[in-house]
Structure 1
């Protein structure tokens, strides 16, 4: 899982910029699926590791450490409604982050689908978009 600092940047950016376009659900949030399938986005924020970038500080923890991670946006649309709307929402999400420096987090490259086709889950079709990030401390 990503650090609380990286998580907070993503949550705040979506709250400020998404404008209620769809519901947004984060990991382990309480969310009740409606009776009729409705668009929403499920967000997962992963941190891969903290890598020591600098050397020479008297105490190791005083060196520069870099967190690398990824945000996954699972865009959920009703089954059998095509993939165009999911792609559109995925691109809008990617554009909120790709190439941005927000607080201590630098968002890098992004992908829609990452080479994988969308897939069906119960009454929903999922298209996943990802954005990689780095954060220094």
Structure 2
């Protein structure tokens, strides 16, 4: 999982700028509606810190870099095609791609990451992936 600092920035960016669908983060309670409707499921991974500098007196005085990825799973009803999912995925990527938000740099992004969308029960998932890094 990512650091709490990165997680909070992603939550705030989506909360302040995304109103088209509900957004659900890891381990949150979300009751699927009786009639399938679009939503975004978010996972944030970035649990490593690479040492990015050497020579400071104490280990923690060096620069440490967190790196990771955000997975934005755009869920749309099965049987409705993939266009709406692609549109939402592109709009979500554009909220982050190339941004530096409070020290978190959002880097490369992809829609699908080379994988086709997939069906889950009543939903089709199209995943947008965004790389990030943060120095500490």
1:97 is the counterpart of 2:96 = yes
Q: Which residue of 2 aligns with 1:2?
A: 2
Following superposition, the deviation at residue 49 of structure 1 comes to 1.2
Dislocated runs of 4+, deviation >3 Å: none
CA contact (8 A) 2:40 2:72 kept: yes
CA distance in 1, matches of 2:87, 2:106: 20
TM-score by length of 1: 0.98
CA distance in 2, matches of 1:136, 1:125: 36
> After superposition, where does 1:1-137 map in structure 2 within 5 Å?
1-18=1-18, 20-137=19-136
TM-score by length of 2: 0.99
| Structure 2 alignment gaps of length 5 or more | none
CA distance in 1, matches of 2:76, 2:51: 41
Q: What's the C-alpha RMSD, in Å, of the aligned pairs?
A: 0.5
Q: What SS class does the counterpart of residue 74 from structure 1 fall into?
A: strand
Aligned length: 136
Following superposition, the deviation at residue 48 of structure 1 comes to 4.1
Following superposition, the deviation at residue 62 of structure 1 comes to 0.7
| Structure 1 alignment gaps of length 5 or more | none
CA offset digits 1:59-79 (Å, max 9, x no partner):
011100000010000000000
CA distance in 1, matches of 2:31, 2:46: 27
